[in-house]
Structure formats: C-alpha cells, structure tokens
Structure 1
Amino acid sequence: MSPVFSHGDLRLYILSLLDEAPRHGYDLMQALTDRTGGTYSPSAGTIYPRLAKLEEEGLVTKTVDGRKTVYEITDAGRTEVADRSGDLEGIRAGLADSVRLIADEVRGSVRDAMRSLRADLAAAARDERDHSPSVPADDTRARSREQLSRADAAINEFRGRVRSELRAHVARGGELVASGVDEIEAALRQASEAASRAMRG
C-alpha cells in the first residue's frame, strides 16, 4: 500500500476518479500523480491489480478501445462511492490539511531564510560603508564575491531544508497536491521579490 493512502483509501479514490469519467489505466495513474502534486506516482503494478479486483467485485467494467483498455464505473460502484461519501470527504479533508501544513512550513522557512539574507545584506552594506571610497574596484568585486558565496550558502541551506521537510512529510504518509505546490511556488516568488527589494536598498 502506498504511504500516501491509508488502507482502503486508494481503492475508494480510484472508484471516485472513475465516477468522474471513464479512464484508462495510464489516465488513472496520471490523475493520481496530478492530485498529489507529483509526490505519488503509482506504478502499473499498483493500479492494474486494484482495477482487476474492482472488476471482479462488479464495481467497474472494462472495454478495449484500440490499444487502450478503458475502465468505467458500474451502478454498484456508484452506489459504493455514494455510500462512502463521508470517507471520501475525510480523504479530501486530510489532503487539504496536508496542503496547509506544507504551505505553512514553507512560509516559515521562507521567512527564516529572508531574515538571514536581509541580515547578511545589511552586514555587507555596513562593510561597504566602512571602507574608503578609494578602495580599488578589484577589492570591491572580491568582497562582492565573498558575499555572493554567503548568499549561495544560505539559499542552498534553505533549499535543502525545504526539500527534506517535503520528503519527510510524504514519507510519514502525508499528501501533497497540485494546489499545495502552487502555494509553495507563490511563497518562493514572494521570497525572490523580497530578496530583490533587499538588494536594492
């Protein structure tokens, strides 16, 4: 069982996807990848046995369309989805909570990284003011390169910390969906804009 889905959740989630529209196996795998923000990419060995079991239970049917096998939910499958709507809501609520958790963690990491970067930039500006204007250009460039190395180190540390947090969250069974990644990207854009403003002054 995937660490993203608790016991039985993947089976129900596949049924809910088929309740939306008939799908072939690859389409189901892609939908699961998309809805978990790319953190869970099920293999054919995960999906097809579950589809076969659902077919055996009379919850889905399959038809061959050219080289593709298309799976479609049956009335019995729709009844199960309807009867377990509360369970589905729980899965989706857990997913939404995970998105908020990841977004909060990233925002906190971004704030910490920006405080550190602002402090480094302020220290660099003070160092620059303390030096004579007659300092040769080569020395100025050398100091800038030194500060650039510090900034690179801070950024790399931040990147590593966020990646570690994301991977640990998923490994613990948390979910990450496209909307969560959208929030992360927005937070990173804000951090980039803040860094640009800090460098300007």
Structure 2
Amino acid sequence: MAPVFSHGDLRLYLLNLLDESPRHGYDLMQALADRTGGTYTPSAGTIYPRLAKLEEEGLVTKSVDGRKTVYEITDAGRAEVRARAGELEGIEAGLTDSVRLIADEVRGNVREAMKSLRADLAAAAREERSSAKASPPPVDESRVSSREQLHRADAAVSEFRANIRADLRTHLARGGSVSASLVDDLVRALDDAAREVTRALRS
C-alpha cells in the first residue's frame, strides 16, 4: 500500500508530533509507524534531513539528552501547526483510511483461509461417506483409512494455524495492529468450521 503522506505532508506531520511533546528521532519514526498501522515506516535517512530542515527554518530546536538528540517545537513551529490545522485534519483522515484498509485486508485473508479449510474438510467427509457406501471395507481396513484421514485433517489444521500465526506476527513486526474485531471474526470462523466438522461426523 502506498504511503499516505503526499508532498509536504510528512514535514507538517512531524511538526504536529513535536507539538504534542518533544521527541527523539527514533520516537518520531515509531510514532509514524504506529499511527499509519504499519503502512508507512520511515527510515532515519527520511526523518533526520527533514528535522534538520525544520531546525534551519527555526521551527524546531534540538538538545542532547545523554546519547539521544531530542527535538522540540518552537513558537514559530506551533504557529505553523495552528495555521495549517485544516491540512492536518485531512492527513489524519488519510491515516485512518489506511489503517482501515489494512485491517479489511487481513480480515479478508482470514475469511478466505477459513472458507478453503471448510471446503477441504467437507470434501474429505463426502469422500469418506462415498467410499463407505460404495464398498464397506473390513473393520481393520476402515480403521486404517480413518487414521489416515485423521492425520490428513491434523496436517490441514496445523498448516492453517501456522500460516495465520505467521501472517499475524509479520503484520505486527511491520508495525501493524490486530483489532478485537479481527480476532472476533477469526473466532467466529473457527467456530463455524468446528460445527461443520461435527455435523459431517454425525451424518
């Protein structure tokens, strides 16, 4: 997904973050990643030149705190933030849209994965019933076949679990967030799949 910051927006948003409180460079990068839901994670090569330019324009000052350089907005910087409040509202709206889009994408991936799993389980159940009706196997062979299908189901569930965990961990590692509604959707989908398997086993 493309960054939500167009030309000049990042400069203004940095001033807005510093208007909230003094921050060091890494804190600014982390704040940008958090507020864009991981859709934009700036590098030091992007942030520090802009901070230097803001300092040159007299909009921020910097001071050394131990091993960190802390940036603080000046009165002139606050005046610019106030004068461009309308632009900031537009930037905030763009950030909200970006977070919503990535959350929708994750939910869609979960639904598709669950749909595929339900289809595989239903197909396996139909195949098992069809085989049983066509030629009922001896007791021992039936038990062997059932064990094979059990291993197949175990493998499918394990693969799904591993894929979802990997997707969620990667999303979080990139600065994204996992909402309660997303987890609710996942739990409902898993409950639906469990009920489908139970119905298939009882039929």
Q: TM-score, normalised by structure 1?
A: 0.74
User: SS in structure 2 opposite 1:125?
Assistant: helix
Q: What is the Cα-based RMSD across aligned positions, in Å?
A: 3.2
Mapping of 1:28-177 within 5 angstroms? 28-130=28-130, 131=132, 132=136, 134=139, 135-147=141-153, 155=160
User: 1:83-121 deviations in whole A, cap 9, x for unaligned?
Assistant: 111111111111212223333344344334333322222
Taking the aligned partners of 1:185 and 1:42, their CA distance within structure 2 comes to: 28
1:32 is displaced (CA, Å) by: 1.4
Percent identity of paired positions between Structure 1 and Structure 2: 64
Asked whether the 8 Å contact 1:35–1:178 carries over to 2, the reply is no
Larger Rg: 2
User: SS in structure 1 opposite 2:42?
Assistant: coil
Q: TM-score, normalised by structure 2?
A: 0.73
User: 1:96-151 deviations in whole A, cap 9, x for unaligned?
Assistant: 12223333344344334333322222222223334248343222122334455666
Relative to structure 1, the CA distance from residue 88 to residue 196 in structure 2 (aligned partners, 3 Å threshold; closer, same or farther) is farther
1:35 is displaced (CA, Å) by: 1.8
Taking the aligned partners of 2:118 and 2:53, their CA distance within structure 1 comes to: 57
Q: Which moved more, 1:115-124 or 1:87-96?
A: 115-124
Taking the aligned partners of 2:143 and 2:102, their CA distance within structure 1 comes to: 44
1:69 is displaced (CA, Å) by: 1.2
Aligned residue-pair number: 184
Relative to structure 1, the CA distance from residue 178 to residue 185 in structure 2 (aligned partners, 3 Å threshold; closer, same or farther) is farther
Asked whether the 8 Å contact 1:61–1:73 carries over to 2, the reply is yes
Unaligned 5+ residue runs, structure 1?
A: 167-175
Relative to structure 1, the CA distance from residue 45 to residue 152 in structure 2 (aligned partners, 3 Å threshold; closer, same or farther) is same
Taking the aligned partners of 2:29 and 2:88, their CA distance within structure 1 comes to: 18
- The corresponding residue for 2:197 is 199
Relative to structure 1, the CA distance from residue 89 to residue 71 in structure 2 (aligned partners, 3 Å threshold; closer, same or farther) is same
- The corresponding residue for 2:19 is 19
User: SS in structure 2 opposite 1:70?
Assistant: strand
Asked whether the 8 Å contact 2:39–2:99 carries over to 1, the reply is no
User: SS in structure 2 opposite 1:62?
Assistant: strand
User: SS in structure 1 opposite 2:193?
Assistant: helix
Asked whether the 8 Å contact 1:29–1:42 carries over to 2, the reply is yes
Taking the aligned partners of 1:6 and 1:113, their CA distance within structure 2 comes to: 35
1:80 is displaced (CA, Å) by: 0.9
